[in-house]
Structure 1
């Protein structure tokens, strides 16, 4: 039996924080508030074992404290405001220095190989114990830390699991923070050598803030994310695309786009995502007239006019939806599918984004979950510098997704360990996954890595 022992559970605050100092308050946008009912994004990096004598936990805490002095919004709390004049609610982030959760745990009977190559290909039942924010939803940030870490010492490595509130940051901001943390740890850089944190700021002219939300939209749903017993069970699998796979798919998609009379360039990610989406639909036994969607989380920083800074801190994620039917999907080739994704991305202009925000403020709707049975929902990015983070004892061995709301069609896209490669983490109905794994047209462009139960991973 595997035992994961929690050695300590503490709060780490920004260094030199003084109570009563001037506090920054961050107003939330429609894109932020859309995540109010979602669970914390939980992920993990697995590192090699540090050299003996490394004061691992104390150094991680002290460098984290220094990093939080720079990335101070993570150390704040969500504040709920009661608008008594009309009975609505509002939310802001108060950067009050309350601190972040830091758990130190030990699993000395577990090896890195046990984690990456589990018995029978399924993640063990103790998987969720590696993560510090299981079941925590964004609205709970009023009392819970906005980011949490768990450092678990393995037999031959270190497992760093984390979970963060999407109201305060997106993946771009998180990885910027994590990179700063590793640099402070490994080099001892004084925080003064880092430039001040640029906040994305409030950029929606003509919209009053904080945004007022009907109480009905702020009440947490007791059944959000639950799957009915009558539905088939979900399974997870990681698919790895090598640089050679990606090059072939990209070339194929671009050749076919020319045949459709389009003078456009399909990106590597659009080609890979098009291949995944079309293959999943081909093996889903859907009605030909079924309307299907691919919802892609995308960075909107440079799509606004004027654009906000590329490195500004915050949550700047919009959800762009490509819509078609099963028949259209299957009657056309990869190039056509990738082209629809390309057109959707290009349609997210400054005008469309501001129109969405203006309409949302007039009638706020906060979904209980972002995953639907007829949709793919794609998060993450193969552009994140996941493997460029080194605390000084070696770069990450692997990236993994953590527990959280799961549903058919949930996709995580991240860079692979090899240069130019890409990993697609999927959550699918088991019968769809079984057919996908027997689909030679799909498999010729991808390597299947591991299969995991839906309630344990991603």
Structure 2
């Protein structure tokens, strides 16, 4: 099956009318960016219906991408690593030099959309990876690798657009904003629509010199070759929640939270209710001792939590990790509302002061984590608020959204809006023995209407 995907061409697409000059922009990195130095490129994909045979989608996409990169010019740059010999440290910044992005055109004429959506096929070694660029590439490799790359694979009855992006350069908000602009350019026949200048992130910390200096010892990264597929005891599953089941979970959580919280204004959101249901159910089926500590890490947009806040959709990576911690016993002795309240409190605790304190302390003793998942933890990323299904190149709205092979490791969870209004998709990566018990858990399944 892996041989079904054939690469036709691989090119570099540069920003339209780019002129190399000494005044090109240099973007300094914050502690929140540098924290992701060892994180693999974020990989996502949209699957589309088959375009009109008369449409030259590759030419159309390349020309539209060139125009979009003129607007979102940081994506066409490269990471620069500077050695500071005076104190044995290194610094990084983004050089917006217009080097361009990798664009791969591939064909899989024997593969249908249903084949791609079938998890049995997606688990075949090499098959899923073959749809994505930049497999196994980590953020620090942006010194030579494209900061974003696209692969367009023409299927028997559809189009698969997979991409990977350097998480230090752009987060989910910025990448989906870029994707929306790309589709609008494509639909406007060559960029006739006028777009405003890109709002760059201007936030940096008062009193902290940049570029930030990181000890060389923290940046000696051994390149690990990623396996062609997930470990055999690790499985992926997509859980879908309808708007009705989400409303039921939200109502249940808010009813129960009254007994645990003195603040009458506390309101559990739909997202918090669903994530509390996932966290509690996974913990329940993980065979943990009651005393074992469990964590839930939420990747959060920090833009509107800073003071003063930057523009709502300023470009860059502005993600903080908010961590809720408890024990397996305490979680299971309490209900959905109590678990949702822990997430709610954790979210509310993320303030401008907390972020500045983290950054100030990190600069004093920089530490680059080797992965974000620790024992007994969930890491939740993406958002049901992203306008994933609004990206239409003129061929029709996306059929589905999928993460790349990089979502591996027990406890990694991505959340997206569902295809139906108000629904959610929860993409999980779990140990097989945990997933098997989860799929037999009636309390969990009563809120899940469709499994993939």
- Shorter-chain TM-score: what band? over 0.9
Identify the range of structure 1 (361-370 vs 258-267) with the bigger mean alpha-carbon deviation: 258-267
CA contact (8 A) 2:39 2:138 kept: yes
Where does residue 409 of structure 1 map in the other structure?
Answer: 411
TM-score for the superposition, normalised by structure 1: 0.95
Question: How far off is 1:202 after superposition?
Answer: 3.5
Match of 1:282 in 2: 284
Which deviations, in whole Å up to 9, do the C-alpha atoms of 1:293-312 show, x marking residues without a partner?
00000000000000111010
Partner of 2:312: 310
CA distance in 2, matches of 1:127, 1:389: 22
Give, in whole Å, the separation in 2 of the partners of 1:286 and 1:119: 29
Query: Any conservation in 2 of the 1:224–1:369 contact (CA below 8 Å)?
Result: no
Q: Is the 8 A contact 1:131 1:162 kept in 2?
A: yes
In the superposition, relative to structure 1, how do residues 103 and 224 fare at CA in structure 2: closer, same or farther (>3 Å)?
closer
**2:12 matched to 1:16?**
no
CA distance 1:232–1:44, change in 2 (3 Å): closer
* Kept in 1: contact 2:64–2:191 (CA 8 A): no
- Determine if contact 1:183/1:189 at 8 Å carries over to the other structure: no
Cα-Cα RMSD: 1.7
Q: Distance in 1 between matches of 2:393 and 2:234?
A: 35
Partner of residue 221, structure 2: 220
- Point out the more displaced range, 206-215 or 255-264: 255-264
State yes or no: 1:341 paired with 2:343: yes
Once the two structures are TM-superposed, the CA of residue 418 in structure 1 deviates from its matched residue by 0.8
Structure 2 unpaired stretches of 5+? none
1:220-273 Cα deviation digits (max 9, x unpaired): 1456989xx9x9821110000111110000000000011224421000000000
Aligned to 1:156: 157
Aligned partner of 2:378 in structure 1 is: 376
Report the Cα distance in structure 2 between the residues aligned to 1:139 and 1:9, rounded to whole angstroms.
Answer: 23
Task: Indicate yes or no: 2:423 matched with 1:421.
Answer: yes
The offset of 1:119, in angstroms, is 4.5
Instruction: Give a deviation string over 1:411-453, Cα, whole Å, max 9, x none.
Output: 0111111110101111111100000000000000013522xxx
Partner residue, 1:243: 243
Indicate the residue corresponding to 1:185 in structure 2: 186
**Matched residue, 2:206:** 205
Instruction: Please report how far the alpha carbon of residue 195 of structure 1 lies from its aligned counterpart in structure 2 after TM superposition.
Output: 0.5
The residue that corresponds to 1:391 in the other structure is 393
Give deviations 1:138-197, integer Å, cap 9, x for gaps: 001000100000000000000000000001000000000000000000113637711000
Contact kept in structure 1, 2:15 and 2:76, CA below 8 Å = yes
1:330 aligned to 2:332? yes
- Judged with a 3 Å threshold, the aligned counterparts in structure 2 of structure 1 residues 184 and 198 are, in CA distance, closer, same or farther, namely same
Q: Which secondary structure does the structure 1 equivalent of 2:105 belong to? A: strand
Match in the other structure for 1:36: 37
Q: Secondary structure at the match of 1:364?
A: coil
Q: How many angstroms apart in 1 are the aligned matches of 2:22 and 2:205?
A: 28
Alpha-carbon distance between aligned partners in 1 of 2:383 and 2:308, rounded to the nearest angstrom: 24
| In 2: Cα distance, 1:160 partner to 1:225 partner | 22
Quick check: 1:63 aligned with 2:64?
yes
Q: Which moved more, 1:56-65 or 1:400-409?
A: 400-409
Q: Which SS does the other structure have where 1:434 is aligned?
A: helix
Q: Distance in 2 between matches of 1:285 and 1:293?
A: 15
In 1, distance between residues paired with 2:366 and 2:192?
A: 40
- Work out the number of aligned pairs and report it: 447
Query: In the alignment, what sits opposite 2:322?
Result: 320
Question: Which 10-residue stretch deviates more, 302-311 or 399-408?
Answer: 399-408
TM-score by length of structure 2 reads 0.96
Which whole-Å deviations, capped at 9, do the CAs of 1:320-351 have from their partners, x for residues lacking one? 00000011100100000000000000000111
User: Which residue, 235, 258, 269 being the options, matches 1:267?
Assistant: 269
User: Structure 1 residues 370 and 435 mapped into 2: Cα distance closer, same or farther (>3 Å)?
Assistant: same
Structure 1 contact 112–154 (Cα < 8 Å) conserved: yes
Indicate the SS of the match to 2:214.
Answer: coil
Whether contact under 8 Å (1:39, 1:136) holds in the other structure is: yes
